[in-house]
Chains A and B, each alone.
Chain A
Amino acid sequence: MKVSLFITCLSDAFYPRVGEAMVRLLARYGVRLDFPTVQTCCGQPAFNSGYWEEARDSARTILEAFEDSDFVISPSGSCTGMIHHYPKLFENDPAMLEKAKKLQAKSYEFTQFLVNVLGVTDVGASFPHKVTYHPSCHGSRLLGVKDEPMELMKRVKGLEFVPLPFAEDCCGFGGTFAVKMADISGAMVSEKVDHVKETEAEVLVGLDMACLMNIAGNLRFRGEPVRVMHLAELLAEGAKLA
């Protein structure tokens, strides 16, 4: 069975450590992640801004990359969610539409695959820190990833979980929104960080590096020493794989 990593352009460029954590974690369960190098970006920035022709150029690399994979795993609910839009994006192209539907059916956000497919909830990690969690909108609302990260965190030894107030509120990233509507986005991320501070957590964890880059960026801007990690990183570090 071929299990492939859809790293996402953002993690490829900025957060290779997240991909590395996923590779090491899954190897423990006998899953060797394959990495097709023709992949680039899911096309979401163009798609969400209304430039669908441009989005299709980018999406084709993803469809090609994972054509013969059995499972496609990604560290982002948002980019996985974008794959769910491919059938709409290619609705007028029967051949591509068929491929799009196939890819959608085999695409998983990382914790969906770990918990729902492999049936793993205890990776044997220990992480004696105060941790809070931001559920990214696309993963939780559009893919329905809600319980999976909780199941995983619950079983990490020593992890003290502090709920994030107004956790379900968007962090204000929204892709090009953060650039186009910078002041609204800035107000949103500032409020999110206010809530993170309220928890007095040492670590903020999430499932989407775009949102985490946004929140981490504001934390750093304000000189707040909260560590920001993808859940895969936390689990790998806690299981001494990092």
Chain B
Amino acid sequence: MSAKTMPNTVKKRAELALNDDFLRKAVKFTTERLRNGKKNASAEHGNWDEWRERGRQIRLHTIAHLDYYLNMFVDNARANGVHVHFADTGADAVRIALEIAKNKQAKTVVKSKSMVSEELHLNHALEGIGVEAIETDLGEYIIQLAGETPSHIVIPAIHKNRYQIADLLSEVAGEKLEADTTVLAGFVRKKLRENFLEADIGMTGCNFAIAETGSMVLFENEGNARMVTTLPKTQITLMGMERIIPSFQDLEVMATLLPRSATGQKLTMYMSGITGPRREADADGPDEMHIIIVDNGRSLQLGDPEFQELLNCIRCGACLNACPVYRHIGGHAYGGTYSGPIGAVLTPALNKNVAEWDDIANASSLCGACYEACPVKIPLHEMLIYLRRRKVEKGHGNKLEGAGMKGFAVLMGNAKRFRAALKMGQIGQKLVVRDGGIRAKIGPLKGWNSYRVLPSLPKSTFRQRFATLDQEIRQGLQEMSPEIRGRMEAALKKREREGGGGHHG
């Protein structure tokens, strides 16, 4: 669905998705395949948690010294003959890209997959000055034809099945194409060949930028990025300012983590390292190369202890594939360029103005599957809570919920009041309880009881029962065995020795 026609709350957008059986089936099918692939690949590789920790440490270190490594990268890239540009905002980045296109009198731009370009809505801007932008990643090509935005960081057209894709491509072909993946991919391949040869500019994203050499590295499966970076005379690379890693040695760790986490592959079909424009001895490559380093809200996270780790993200999409919410509502329901758990955090975090945040951070049960899947261990489930808190603190919380929480604090701040409330509940529920359950879809129970039956409160609470129970226990209490006593004492000693914070696992 195109961004313009989308409702403005997660709830409403999710409702659209929940009623779209094609979408749910397609998303479920592919995310399941991807997350199983990741599970197998990481298990096969072994010591996965150690590798995750290594990846995390590299990212933590780089982001902590981002100014240093960015400088190093830029110096080296310039020494390689690259034109490096800095863009504070999305608008700046667009302006720079358009200027280059105008200077080159470009008619067409072929693009390999870039989430930053989606963030900037660059295709639209290029169109505005009469430049045709052609997506060459198969998934991106499909959603471009459909006039949509990507619904997954790695698999942009994850929400479409092959029949829907066959219909879209048949329109381009002017004939009915069979809904067979080989036929469809074959058609696009042939079609895009012409575009690669004609294009004036090749535009790419950037998976990693290597500070020590000034190189940019791309991971891909279709070979389109290689075409984009070798055929057109001019190359523009869009790069989030946090894409840096110090060295090629660090790339080894990232190359271990990224493809396995993204698609369950040991390595993507192509991994290209590009260090500057074509040299004399090179057979191909662009004559002119630009790298636009984009901030667009990223530097807001620097120095923020709750969100700086957000910049560690390597955009593998594993959190989307693991997320039980994403699985049911797909990516468009998140309402931003980035979807899934990372999108739910990144979209608000990149926007300084809390008043403009929608309710996206609420679309999570905080189950932590994202954190568990993340190859660099970003605690997204905690960041979601911090976002909610910041919204409340700035006075943009839901008024009804705020009042409810005040009531909660009054009730739970004191056991006497809690006990009184329980008694009231035991009496009051008689009006609605039938057969030991409450089915009425009233007030705050409406949502709950649309899918469930609420149990009724039993005759007595635990605190009402405890005195009698304890008396009974005291009479028949077994003697504690010396082994058990010993273990309990050992646990206490261990705690004294090691201090708090343990998980007792």
Binding site for B on A (CB under 8 A): 1, 7, 9, 11-17, 19-20, 23-24, 27-33, 35, 37-41, 43, 45-55, 57-58, 60-61, 70-71, 84, 87, 101-102, 104-106, 108, 112, 116-120, 137-138, 141-145, 168-170, 172-191, 213-214, 216-218, 220-221
Contact = CB atoms under 8 A, between A and B. Distances in A.
Contact of A170 (B369, B391, B453, B504): B369
Interface string B453-470: 111011011111110011
B294 to A, nearest CB: 30
Contacts of B495: 105-106
Interface of B: 10-11, 14-15, 18, 324-325, 327-329, 362-369, 371-372, 385, 387-393, 397, 401-402, 405-406, 408-415, 418, 422, 425, 437, 444, 446-448, 450-455, 457-458, 460-466, 469-470, 473-474, 476-481, 483-485, 487-489, 491-492, 495, 499-505
A117 B491 contact: yes
A14 B455 contact: yes
A30 B324 contact: no
A29 B365 contact: no
A9 B418 contact: yes
Given A16-B458, A52-B389, A101-B499, 15 more contacts: A9-B418, A12-B463, A17-B458, A29-B484, A40-B411, A50-B392, A51-B389, A71-B488, A101-B501, A137-B366, A181-B10, A181-B14, A182-B450, A186-B447, A217-B452
Nearest to A35: B466
Contacts of A184: 14, 18, 325, 328-329, 363
B484 A119 contact: yes
Interface of chain B: mostly helix, strand, loop or mixed: helix
A29 B483 CA distance: 10
A40 B500 contact: no
Contact of A49 (B388, B463, B488, B504): B388
A55 B504 CA distance: 25
Contacts of A31: 480, 484
A174 B323 CA distance: 13
Contacts of B11: 180-181, 183
A118 B156 CA distance: 51
Contact of A183 (B18, B387, B390, B444): B18
Contacts of B492: 1, 70
B412 A9 contact: yes
30 contacts: A1-B488, A19-B465, A27-B476, A27-B478, A30-B477, A30-B484, A33-B473, A37-B463, A38-B415, A48-B366, A50-B392, A71-B491, A105-B501, A119-B487, A137-B367, A138-B367, A141-B369, A143-B503, A168-B369, A169-B327, A172-B324, A174-B365, A175-B366, A180-B401, A182-B447, A183-B11, A186-B447, A188-B328, A188-B365, A220-B452
Contacts of A37: 415, 463, 466
A29 B480 contact: yes
Contact of A43 (B369, B412, B418, B474): B412
Contacts of A70: 488, 492
Contacts of A112: 504-505
A104 B495 CA distance: 11
A106 B458 CA distance: 30
A118 B482 CA distance: 11
A54 B504 CA distance: 29
